Amino acid sequence: MTPSIARTLNAFGLLAVGLVLIAAFLDQVLLGELPCPLCLLQRVGFMGAALGLALNIRFGPRPSHYAVTILSACFGGMVSIRQILGHIVPGTGTYGSAILGLHFYSWALLVFGAIVLGCTALLFFERQFEQPETAPARATTFGMAMVGLAATLALANGVSTVLECGAGLCPDNPVAYELLQGLKRP
């Protein structure tokens, strides 16, 4: 696998992570389901995975970039498992809507697992790490567009989190944007 092909595969991976974040953000904005603290930590895991993929796109594939992605996905997966275990006991309820019978945190665990497996598989292709004698391949327009998408989603989720939690701890079961509540006139 050439570095150019690896960059393209990383761009498609970044698109997939971006679509997950878009789906979560749309659920939050359009359906009014604010993310809980564990949901926010899962988004951090996705953004960390996106960072590693973006580094591969922008600077070329490196094992350390894959490590950032894998470690972030492992972190997000552990948070997902924690949330699943918190809702697995009958009568404890769930958080958020189900999609095809699974909640976002269950889907997140599956996606984090796919990220780990995908990056691990890509690490087997060592030729992508070889530096060519000529000028290194540049990131494609598609790849840089995905990096821009990921950066925009990270910024949007950061702003959303500040609006939801304000300057303090995020509520366990958020029902309103705390910072916006404080701006209302009495």
pLDDT digits (tens, 9 = 90+) for 56-107: 999 989 999 999 999 999 999 999 999 888 888 777 766 767 778 788 888 9
| pLDDT number for residue 136 | 56
Count of CB atoms situated within 10 Å of the CB of 131 = 8
Task: Give me the CATH number covering residue 93.
Answer: 1.20.1550
Contact criterion met (CB below 8 Å) for 61 and 3: yes
Would the pLDDT of 176 be above 90? no
Q: Are 116 and 73 in contact (CB under 8 A)?
A: yes
Q: Contact, 170 vs 157, CB < 8 A?
A: no
Instruction: Judge whether 110 and 33 are in contact, CB under 8 Å.
Output: no
pTM of this prediction exceeds 0.85:
yes
The label of the residue with tokens 């976002």 reads 104
pLDDT 10s digits, 115-162: 999 999 999 998 888 776 455 567 788 999 999 999 999 999 999 988
| Number of domains making up the chain | 1
Domain, as residue range, for 168: 3-183
For residue 133, the tally of other CB atoms under 10 A from its CB is: 5
d(CA 76, CA 47): 10
**One-letter-per-residue 3-state SS of the chain:** CCHHHHHHHHHHHHHHHHHHHHHHHHHHHHHCCCCCHHHHHHHHHHHHHHHHHHHHHHHCCCHHHHHHHHHHHHHHHHHHHHHHHHHCCCCCCCCCCEECCEEHHHHHHHHHHHHHHHHHHHHCCHHHHCCCCCCCCCCCHHHHHHHHHHHHHHHHHHHHHHHHHCCCCCCCCCCCCHHHHHHCCC
Q: For residue 87, what pLDDT is reported?
A: 80
CA-based torsion, 143, 147, 152, 156: positive or negative: positive
Q: How confident is the model at residue 108 (pLDDT cuts 50, 70, 90)?
A: very high
